[in-house]
A and B are shown apart, each in its own frame.
Chain A
Amino acid sequence: DIQMTQSPSSLSASVGDRVTVTCRASQSITSYLNWYQQKPGRAPNLLIYDASSLQSGVPSRFSGSGSGTDFTLTISSLQPEDFATYYCQQGYITPYTFGQGTKLEIK
């Protein structure tokens, strides 16, 4: 199975900050990498698919990059509603696997 490792596991930041979360796959997944945001008690929400494509309706302050094994999610200017947990997920091969999550907290 492909292991997905996110860093950091948690992150404290302030409104207006630029934030980057990284995700590393245990083998190449080309660009089959997706990012999700999850708020407490809610279902996950797809932000980025295919490593860098912005899902419809998602604010442009979210962006993704990378290919192969190393990927990043960047939030250009944090807004209050962005404090949540973020997960990466590989869609290259089953079992589709998620990273362990990055909890973004208010500083």
Chain B
Amino acid sequence: EVHLVESGGGLVQPGGSLRLSCAASGFTFGTFTMNWVRQAPGRGLEWISFISSGSTTIYYVDSVKGRFTISRDNAKNSLYLQMNSLRDEDTAVYYCARSRPADGFDYWGQGTLVTVSS
């Protein structure tokens, strides 16, 4: 059974940094593309980053470019999101999600809450 488990969320001050992790199991992690999607409290879903299976292709939404870095370690079945220069508007639940080419996000983690506040 496919499982994705996020960790690393918490309370951080504006301008601070946080590193999220997503541990994958139940599938051959190294053959799937992965994503981070976030959801601000009471709001809709926002895709923020994509990474190909071999890390050769990476995309970001404009609002996080230059501040967030997605990476993966296929040997450890893990996905990461390094978040720097955090802003109030980055407060959200962050989900990792597996994707199939153009066929949507078929498995999601339970999410980890990031709160940016002074």
How many of chain A's residues touch chain B, expressed as a range?
Answer: 20 to 34
Q: Does A22 contact B (CB under 8 A)?
A: no
What would 11 A/B residue contacts be, using CB atoms closer than 8 Å? A36-B104, A36-B105, A43-B108, A43-B111, A45-B108, A46-B106, A89-B47, A94-B47, A94-B61, A96-B35, A100-B44
Q: Does B75 contact A (CB under 8 A)?
A: no
Between A34, A44, A92, A97, the greatest number of chain B beta carbons within 10 A of the residue's beta carbon is seen for A44
CA of A46 to CA of B33, assembled, Å: 16
* Given A43-B111, A44-B108, A87-B45, A94 contacting B102 (CB threshold 8 A): no
Q: Does A62 contact B (CB under 8 A)?
A: no
| Total interface residues in chain B, CB < 8 Å | 23
Q: Are A94 and B50 in contact (CB under 8 A)?
A: yes
Per-residue B-contact encoding for A32-47, CB less than 8 Å = 1, 0 else: 1010101000011110
* Given A50-B102, A95-B62, A43 contacting B109 (CB threshold 8 A): yes
Residues from chain B with a CB closer than 8 A to the CB of A46 are 104-106
CB-based nearest B residue for A85: B44
A36-B104, A96-B47, A98-B45 are known; give 16 further A-B pairs, CB within 8 A.
A34-B105, A36-B45, A43-B108, A44-B37, A46-B104, A46-B105, A50-B102, A50-B103, A53-B103, A91-B102, A91-B104, A94-B61, A98-B44, A99-B44, A100-B44, A101-B45
